[in-house]
Amino acid sequence: MAEGLMTAAKEKDNVLADYTAFLTALLPQTVGVMCYDRTGQLFWTWNAPDASGVELTDEYCKSLTAVLKSDCFSRESARIHLGAATAYIARLEGAKHRSLGALTVLVDRKTGSMPYQFCMDMLQPGLRSLQRELVLRFRLLDSHKKLSVQAAEEKLLHSIEQISHQRQRCEVTLNSLLEQCQKYLGVESAILVVPEKRIRLTRGTDVVSSTEVELMLQDYLQETGSTSKKIRDGRSPNVNADGTALSMLILKEGRRISGMLSLGGWTDSDFSLRRRSRVLRYLVSNIEDVIDRDYDALTGLMSWGLFDSVFVEACKNAETRHHAMLNLDLDQMHVVNDSFGRDGGDKLLQRFSDMLRDKLPGSLLARITGDNFVALLTDTKECEALEIAEQICDVFREMEYVEGNQTHRPSVSIGVGPFCDVPESASAILSSAQVACQAAKDRGRGRVEVFRDADASIVRRLDDIQMVGQVRSAIENGRLATFAQPIIGLQDTTNHPYLEVLVRLRNDNGDFVAPADFFSSAERYQLMEDLDRWVIAETLATLEANRKTIQEHSIRFAINLSGQSLGSDRFLEFVLNKVETFSMAPEILCFELTETVAVANLQRAEKFMKEIKSKGCRLSLDDFGTGLSSFAYLKQFPVDTLKIDGSFIFDLPTNVVSQSVVSAISGIARTIGLETVAEYVQDEDTMALLRQSGVTWAQGYHLGVPEPLGDQINAIKSSACPQDSPEQQSQQQNILPTGDEMIVSRTDLSPFLA
- pLDDT tops 70 at residue 752: no
The residues, ordered by sequence, that sit 6+ positions from 493 with a Cβ below 8 Å of its Cβ are none
* pLDDT top residue among 517 and 174: 174
Q: Are residues 267 and 415 in the same domain?
A: no
Q: Are residues 560 and 690 in the same domain?
A: yes
Among residues 522, 532, 529, 530, the alpha carbon closest in space to that of 463 is found at 522
Query: What are residue 419's phi and psi, to 5 degrees?
Result: -155, 165
- pLDDT tops 60 at residue 654: yes
Among residues 23, 16, 15, the alpha carbon closest in space to that of 120 is found at 23
How do residues 671-680 score in pLDDT, each as one tens digit?
Answer: 989 999 999 9
Output the pLDDT for position 632.
66
Cβ proximity of 466 and 674 under 8 Å: no
- pLDDT tops 50 at residue 732: no
Q: Are residues 498 and 639 in the same domain?
A: yes
- What interhelical angle do 515-524 and 453-477 show, nearest 10? 100
Answer left, alpha or beta for residue 616, where phi above 0 means left and psi between -120 and 50 means alpha: left
Contacts 24+ apart (CB under 8 A), 90-99: 90/120, 90/123, 90/127, 91/67, 92/127, 92/130, 92/131, 92/134, 93/131, 94/131, 94/134, 94/135, 94/138, 95/135, 97/71, 99/38, 99/68, 99/69, 99/71
Q: Are residues 447 and 464 in the same domain?
A: no
Q: Are residues 704 and 646 in the same domain?
A: yes
Q: Are residues 404 and 481 in the same domain?
A: no
SS (H, E, C) 309-376: HHHHHHHHCCCCCEEEEEEEEECCHHHHHHHHHHHHHHHHHHHHHHHHHHHCCCCEEEEEECCEEEEE
Cβ proximity of 273 and 327 under 8 Å: no
CATH code, 202 = 3.30.450.40
Q: Pick from 396, 427, 451: which residue ends a domain?
A: 451
The residues, ordered by sequence, that sit 6+ positions from 183 with a Cβ below 8 Å of its Cβ are 156
Decide the pairing of beta strands 42-47 and 372-377: unpaired
Answer left, alpha or beta for residue 699, where phi above 0 means left and psi between -120 and 50 means alpha: beta
pTM: 0.41
* pLDDT top residue among 221 and 332: 332
CA distance 414 to 330: 9
3-state secondary structure of 63: helix
Residue 429 inside a domain? The answer is: yes
Q: Are residues 507 and 621 in the same domain?
A: yes
Output the pLDDT for position 329.
93
Among residues 14, 65, 56, 11, the alpha carbon closest in space to that of 36 is found at 65
Q: What percent of the chain has pLDDT over 90?
A: 24
CATH code, 87 = 3.30.450
Q: What percent of the chain has pLDDT over 70?
A: 82
CA distance 640 to 540: 21
Among residues 532, 591, 525, 585, the alpha carbon closest in space to that of 557 is found at 591
Q: Pick from 451, 468, 499: which residue ends a domain?
A: 451
What is the number of structural domains in the chain? 4
CA distance 410 to 390: 15
Band (pLDDT 50/70/90 cuts) for residue 423 is: confident
CATH code, 498 = 3.20.20.450
Q: Are residues 63 and 189 in the same domain?
A: no
Residue 159 inside a domain? The answer is: no
Band (pLDDT 50/70/90 cuts) for residue 578 is: very high
CA distance 438 to 431: 10
Cβ proximity of 388 and 375 under 8 Å: no
Alpha-carbon Rg for the chain, nearest whole angstrom, is: 39
Identify which of 29-33, 161-165, 203-207, 700-704 has the greatest average pLDDT. Answer: 700-704
Residue 308 inside a domain? The answer is: no
User: Position 401: which residue type?
Assistant: Y
CA distance 555 to 714: 12
Decide the pairing of beta strands 556-560 and 697-698: unpaired
Q: Cβ atoms within 10 A of the Cβ of 493, count?
A: 9
- pLDDT tops 90 at residue 325: yes
Number of H helices, E strands in the chain: 22, 28
Residue 175 inside a domain? The answer is: yes
Residue 635 belongs to domain spanning:
460-748
CA distance 549 to 547: 6
- pLDDT tops 60 at residue 720: no
Mean pLDDT along residues 619-628: 76
Residue 150 inside a domain? The answer is: no
Comparing 173-187, 377-391, 525-539, 686-700, the range with the smallest average pLDDT is: 173-187
State the DSSP code for 248.
E
Q: Are residues 621 and 669 in the same domain?
A: yes
- Mean pLDDT of all residues in the chain? 79
The residues, ordered by sequence, that sit 6+ positions from 138 with a Cβ below 8 Å of its Cβ are 94, 100
3-state secondary structure of 590: strand
Q: Are residues 430 and 489 in the same domain?
A: no
Q: Pick from 92, 107, 142: which residue ends a domain?
A: 142
The residues, ordered by sequence, that sit 6+ positions from 167 with a Cβ below 8 Å of its Cβ are 306, 309, 310, 657
Q: Are residues 410 and 489 in the same domain?
A: no
Output the pLDDT for position 190.
86
Q: Which residues pair with 314 in a beta bridge?
A: none
Identify which of 30-39, 217-226, 410-419 has the greatest average pLDDT. Answer: 410-419
3-state secondary structure of 221: helix
Q: Are residues 400 and 541 in the same domain?
A: no
Among residues 446, 410, 433, the alpha carbon closest in space to that of 333 is found at 410
Residue 511 inside a domain? The answer is: yes
- pLDDT tops 60 at residue 628: no
CA distance 747 to 743: 12
Cβ proximity of 480 and 528 under 8 Å: no
**Sheet with 85-93, edge to edge strand ranges:** 42-47, 30-37, 99-108, 85-93, 79-82
Band (pLDDT 50/70/90 cuts) for residue 710 is: very high
User: Position 94: which residue type?
Assistant: G
CA distance 714 to 707: 11
Cβ proximity of 262 and 246 under 8 Å: yes
- Total length of the chain: 754
Among residues 389, 404, 280, 266, the alpha carbon closest in space to that of 324 is found at 389
Output the pLDDT for position 267.
57
Identify which of 245-259, 442-456, 659-673 has the greatest average pLDDT. Answer: 659-673
- pLDDT tops 60 at residue 722: no
Residue 151 inside a domain? The answer is: no
* pLDDT top residue among 183 and 456: 183
Residue 299 inside a domain? The answer is: no
- How many angstroms separate the Cα of 701 from the Cα of each of 66, 682, 683, 698, 706? 83, 6, 9, 10, 8
